[in-house]
Structure 1
Amino acid sequence: MSSEKQIINDHSRMRAIFIGEYGVGKTSLMKSLKDDSYQADIHFSSDYYTPSKVVERNGLKINVLMWDTYEQERFKSLGKIYFRGTHITFIIYDKTNKESFDAIPEWIHTADERCGPEIIKILIGMKVDDKEHEVITYDQGKAIADQFNIPFLELSSQQPSEINVIEFAVDRALEKHIEGEHVTYTPYVPHWYDCAC
């Protein structure tokens, strides 16, 4: 059995989080990802939801749970529990907002500190369709991604992307595992998941 099949068989769930400054488009991106050709399972619990997307590889399935910050970044109150058990971190900035771009190194540091430097990190510049108000170019985004040696994408929540972002992230995670970088896949569901309180 290949390394890829073994890792999927043993751990069929991945946790992906979306981080970045307030208002950069994290929630909109999540909604656009769950609304494409894949059917997302939405888990409701009081005031939040967690969409998930199934990615198939070699006939096997990985269920990717997507977690938003639920505006906690406004209060600098993202606790360790939010990062616990994470496999994939999407670091989001707004191409029309320089402050959100300048905050990228801090968010990368936070992801490394809370999840470990081996965590899959993908940088995404949002609002690529808003050329009139753009202040951050593609080259600037690519340069900082190269500086931290992480993949880089530009997207719009209003327009379909040629790249399936979740599949891209899962493939990168599997690639790192096969390359021997020892990404650890430990299924994790917070104690307040599906809480009825």
Structure 2
Amino acid sequence: MASGGSGYGEGSQKIDYVFKIVLIGDSAVGKSQILSRFARNEFSLDSKATIGVEFQTRTLVIQHKSVKAQIWDTAGQERYRAVTSAYYRGAVGAMLVYDITKRQTFDHIPRWLEELRSHADKNIVIILIGNKTDLEDQRAVPTDDAKEFAQQEGLFFLETSALEATNVEDAFMTVLTEIFNIVNKKNLVASEDQANGNPASLSGKKIIVPGPGQVIPEKNRMCCRS
């Protein structure tokens, strides 16, 4: 079981892993607010649109190891599409965000997923996030629609509210723990190889993640509103 350390005021502790996570989705779905809630436990009501690309970090403890999450946020507007290849390079996790009150932002998710899969490593860990559950009375995307899409595509899925801090921590921890477990399995394989006289090195190797359909979490992680 993963345990999230406070991580907001990072000291000079030894870092065991650095995982790059990218946030993607239409503009104004709350990507920057999700990032700011996770990285600094802050929410700004007068948030400005993100211009270009920025990233923030937070260090957590997962299974007694120190993991630095480096989370990249980009503007969802078309004109920033030129950043794609550099933006996705080295990413081992992705958060695909839509706004539950704007159907169009959910309808664009397959396009974002296609872009992600054409630029990122094909084994990247992906979570679909329906943000703004605090606006339940304006909901335009039924939870079941999103859950069905996530199951078809082999994605994790949660609904969040960056405003109320609902499920934001869980969403990041789901992705980070999955990546951590995969990396640890790789380390185990490498050490077994070395023990058997095969000097296998992990340096420069890609992290291999189970393919689509194999990363759906257990039921209690699948959903959704608190």
- Looking at both structures, which has the greater relative contact order when contacts are Cα pairs under 8 Å and sequence separation is at least 6? 1
**Cα offset, 1:58, TM superposition:** 3.1
**Residues 1:184 and 2:191 are matched in the alignment:** no
Partner of 1:19: 24
- The CA RMSD over aligned residues, in Å, is 2.6
**Cα offset, 1:12, TM superposition:** 1.5
Residue 98 of structure 2 aligns to a residue whose secondary structure is strand
8 Å contact from structure 1 (residues 173, 183) kept in 2: no
Partner of 1:41: none
Which runs of 5 or more residues in structure 1 are unaligned? 1-8, 38-46, 186-197
**Cα offset, 1:164, TM superposition:** 2.9
Alignment of 1:20-169 (within 5 A): 20-36=25-41, 49-69=54-74, 71=75, 73-75=77-79, 77=81, 78-162=83-167, 163-169=169-175
d(CA) in 2 for partners of 1:49, 1:148: 28
Change (3 A) 1:83 1:11: farther
Residue 147 of structure 1 aligns to a residue whose secondary structure is helix
**Cα offset, 1:10, TM superposition:** 9.7
TM-score between the two structures when normalised by the length of structure 2: 0.66
Residue deviations 1:104-150, cap 9 Å, x none? 11111111111122001100001111022110011111011011011
d(CA) in 2 for partners of 1:183, 1:137: 36
8 Å contact from structure 1 (residues 24, 100) kept in 2: yes
Q: Percent identity?
A: 20
**Cα offset, 1:35, TM superposition:** 2.7
